[in-house]
Amino acid sequence: MVLMIVFGIISLNIYDVKEISIYFFLLSLLCLYNAFLRHILLAKKTYRKLSETYGKENWTRSILFENDNILLTDNNVSIKYKYSDIVDIKENGNEIFIIFNNKSFIRLYKSAFIGCDWSECKKFLKDKSTLTYQ
């Protein structure tokens, strides 16, 4: 936000072509950062903070698909998600992303299911949510 204000002020004082090209180059870098790098850096920062919180680099996260909601537990912290809040499910190789309407998501691994497999879970999610997922 601060950078956008600075660019706006700079653009008011640009009079020659060389300054305009520098301005647009910097603006392009800002756009690339926002489009690609910001999310990666934010994910790394979040993981680092979780590692500091739990005091270790690896910890157990359990996800329980209950009748009324999805219960995610990290060590001693639990979060409940409603099935009606699911807006999308994406699959990428062994990874599954359950995306909710508040832009948060749960990442699952197809190979890490206990008590059922991904196809059974997918059918369960389709039945429980309002999602029209194939």
Q: Look at residue 25 and tell me whether its pLDDT is greater than 60.
A: yes
Question: Residue 134 CA to chain centroid, in angstroms?
Answer: 22
Say if CB 23 and CB 14 are below 8 A apart: yes
Nearest to 100 by CA among 82, 118, 120, 123: 82
Q: What would the 3-class secondary structure string for 105-120 be?
A: EEEEEHHHCCCCCHHH
76-109 as b/e: b if 16+ CB within 10 A: eeeeebebebbeebeeeeeebebbbeeeebbebe
Of the two residues 119 and 18, the one the predictor is more confident about is 119
**Strands of the 69-74 sheet, one edge to the other:** 61-65, 69-74, 77-82
H-run or E-run covering 64:
strand 61-65
Of the two residues 79 and 131, the one the predictor is more confident about is 79
Q: Look at residue 24 and tell me whether its pLDDT is greater than 60.
A: yes
For 54-95, what is each residue's pLDDT tens digit?
Answer: 677 677 788 999 999 999 988 778 899 999 999 888 898 988
Regarding pTM above 0.85, the answer is no
Give the DSSP per-residue string, 68-117. Answer: SEEEEEETTEEEEEEGGGEEEEEEETTEEEEEETTS-EEEEEGGG-SSS-
Tokens of 30: 């800002």
For 29-58, what is each residue's pLDDT tens digit?
Answer: 888 787 777 777 887 887 788 777 767 767
